[in-house]
């Protein structure tokens, strides 16, 4: 929840992002895979996931796992007020967008849905700051300048903390996490679309364990 919002929510974006160093970004094609997927991730020490609304099975998958105790399930790729309403109705704990609009901000406030909005430039970051968002998604991280950009932003916008997503990998995740203005990172490598389709739960659990051990 942004600091300036008048609507109270049960948990803040800061609390959610503080749960672990990596938030898996998930594309799921079969609702039946949602439960074993989350079980594998939680066995590996991850209890925050982002399920992107890029497939028809995303909302059913969110609904299928939304009641799991200790899990925070986010709805990603929110692009409209309708997306926000459907995500909240499905049981999403928080929402994530690749960018931000007044419509999305108002919809999340109206639904009391904690919101992690995306930004890629200083102007976008400053605009979101004016709305009270002190934690933002930096997307697409690598394409938008990566760690050098985040280091540059840290000077004039010291109050803002980021969750870089897009091009983050096991090879560079620790470098992002070492930055003082990074609270966590998002990545798809832990539970890729192929690994989920192949039901490779052991591999996903191992990936989750490795990600949970990052600094």
Catalytic, 103? Answer: no
**What domains, with CATH codes, occur in the chain?**
13-208 (3.20.20.70)
Catalytic, 209? Answer: no
Question: Quick check: 49 and 212 in contact, CB under 8 A?
Answer: no
Beta strand pairing call for 185-187 and 161-164: unpaired
Residue 196 tokens read as 């989920």
pLDDT per residue as tens, the chain (215 positions): 454 444 456 689 999 999 999 999 999 999 999 999 999 999 999 999 999 999 999 999 999 999 999 999 999 999 999 999 999 999 999 999 999 999 999 999 999 999 999 999 999 999 999 999 999 999 999 999 999 999 999 999 999 999 999 999 999 999 999 999 999 999 999 999 999 999 999 999 999 999 999 97
**Three-class secondary structure assignment of 180-203:** CCECCEEECCCCCHHHHHCCCHHH
Provide the pLDDT for residue 10. 67
Residue tagged active-site, from 50, 109, 111, 205: 50
Residue tagged active-site, from 27, 111, 137, 205: 137
Q: How far is CA 196 from CA 81, 135, 213, in A?
A: 29, 29, 22
Taking only Cα atoms into account, the Rg of the chain, rounded to an integer number of angstroms, comes to 16
Provide the pLDDT for residue 5. 44
């Amino acid at each position: 929840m942004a600091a300036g919002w008048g609507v109270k929510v049960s948990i803040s974006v800061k609390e959610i992002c503080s749960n672990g160093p990596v938030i898996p970004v998930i594309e799921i094609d079969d609702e039946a895979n949602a439960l074993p997927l989350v079980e594998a991730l939680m066995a590996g020490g991850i209890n925050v996931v982002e399920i992107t609304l890029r497939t028809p099975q995303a909302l059913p998958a969110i609904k299928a796992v939304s009641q799991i105790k200790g899990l925070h399930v986010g709805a990603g790729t929110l692009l409209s007020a309708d997306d926000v309403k459907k995500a909240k109705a499905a049981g999403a704990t928080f929402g994530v967008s690749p960018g931000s609009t007044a419509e999305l901000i108002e919809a999340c406030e109206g639904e009391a849905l904690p919101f992690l909005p995306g930004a890629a430039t200083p102007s976008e970051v400053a605009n979101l700051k004016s709305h009270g968002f002190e934690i933002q998604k930096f997307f697409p991280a690598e394409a938008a300048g990566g760690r050098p950009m985040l280091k540059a932003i840290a000077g004039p916008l010291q109050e803002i903390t980021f969750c870089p997503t897009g091009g983050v990998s096991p090879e560079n995740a620790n470098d992002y996490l070492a930055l003082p203005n990074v609270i966590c990172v998002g990545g798809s490598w832990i539970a890729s679309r192929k690994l989920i389709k192949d039901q490779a739960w052991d591999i996903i659990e191992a990936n989750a364990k490795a990600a949970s051990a990052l600094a």
